[in-house]
């Protein structure tokens, strides 16, 4: 595990420093769909990460946002979001990160998330706790949704999607201290892990958005599930992560908001 972590940290650091150096200096911007963008920095970061990992683990398999599945079909797979928060990055809004997870035999065993702007490296290894820049982190101790601060996000196709999340956003905003919309699921999960947020939920995410952050939350003492409090399926895209103490209350609020949407 030590070598896995060391190499993953190096890959995240290299990609993050590239992003920091290119902030406000994008050379090209393309559209995957109407509101889903990709920049040359996303692609360059992903290439740098894969190159760094492949040098040490030549038989590695990858699932990455820009290049999809590649590499050998070994028992180890790296799940990579080279630049989570691309829209933020494209607008020079300083809330984005690198997310790298290592999965072995279907189980995520390592998560690394690097916020280059703040020089914050979040790391978790299965069964070994979670850290921020080497210091142990834990989720918050708040026990009530009413006194909590949460975050969420919206899919690129919000205008058309049945999973648009607007009703849940409005309902939970009225039940707590506030709901932030930061634009980077991986960082939001790390903020739950470090107690800056008490919970986070989102629909229609991809495995690379949540793989590393979900492990970091769990290793910091939090709880991660789907929106109905069942096991997280990274491929489904629906996630709820909390400090554990408000989890049931948020599940209930989300269910109520969906019921109201159907009824209306």
If the chain, 264 residues long, is cut into consecutive pieces of 10 residues, what is the mean pLDDT of each piece?
93 97 82 71 95 94 88 84 95 97 95 98 98 98 98 77 80 96 97 98 95 98 97 92 98 85 45
Quote the pLDDT of residue 36.
Answer: 67
Dihedral (C-alpha) 152, 42, 159, 203: value to the nearest 10 degrees?
-40
* Tokens matching residue 9: 């940290």
Quote the pLDDT of residue 75.
Answer: 73
* Tokens matching residue 28: 């090209």
Provide the terminal-to-terminal Cα distance of the chain, rounded to the nearest Å. Answer: 51
User: Considering only CA atoms, which of 98, 103, 91, 119 is closest in space to residue 24?
Assistant: 91
Q: Which helix (H) or strand (E) holds 215?
A: helix 207-219
CATH 3.40.190.80 in the chain, residue ranges: 145-263
Q: Which helix (H) or strand (E) holds 171?
A: helix 166-173
CATH 3.30.540.10 in the chain, residue ranges: 2-136
Quote the pLDDT of residue 264.
Answer: 42
**66 vs 173: CA distance, rounded Å:** 33
Name the pTM for this structure. 0.93
Quote the pLDDT of residue 17.
Answer: 96
**3-state SS class at 163:** coil
**202 vs 235: CA distance, rounded Å:** 13
The domain made up of 145-263 has a fold known as D-Maltodextrin-Binding Protein; domain 2 (3.40.190)
Q: What is the CATH number of domain 2-136?
A: 3.30.540.10
């Amino acid at each position: 595990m030590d070598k896995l972590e060391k190499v993953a940290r190096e890959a995240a650091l290299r990609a993050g420093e590239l992003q920091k150096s290119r902030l406000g200096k994008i050379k090209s911007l393309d559209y995957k769909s109407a509101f889903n963008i990709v920049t040359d920095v996303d692609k360059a970061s992903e290439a740098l990460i894969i190159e760094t990992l492949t040098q040490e683990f030549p038989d590695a398999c990858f699932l990455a946002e820009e290049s999809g599945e590649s590499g050998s079909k070994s028992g180890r797979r790296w799940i990579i979001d080279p630049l989570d928060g691309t829209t933020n990055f494209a607008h020079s809004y300083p809330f984005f990160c690198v997310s790298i997870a290592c999965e072995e035999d279907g189980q995520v065993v390592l998560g690394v998330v690097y916020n280059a702007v703040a020089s914050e490296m979040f790391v978790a290894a299965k069964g070994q706790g979670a850290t921020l820049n080497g210091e142990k982190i834990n989720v918050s101790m708040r026990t009530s949704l009413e006194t909590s601060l949460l975050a969420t996000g919206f899919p690129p196709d919000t205008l058309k999607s049945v999973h648009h999340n607007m009703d849940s956003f409005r309902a939970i905003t009225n039940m707590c201290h506030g709901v932030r919309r930061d634009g980077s699921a991986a960082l939001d999960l790390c903020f739950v892990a470090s107690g800056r947020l008490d919970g986070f939920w989102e629909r229609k995410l991809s495995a690379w958005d949540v793989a590393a952050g979900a492990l970091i939350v769990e290793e910091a003492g939090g709880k991660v599930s789907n929106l109905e409090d069942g096991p997280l399926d990274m491929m489904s895209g629906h996630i709820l992560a909390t400090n554990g103490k408000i989890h049931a209350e948020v599940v209930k609020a989300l269910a109520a908001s969906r019921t109201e949407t159907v009824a209306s």
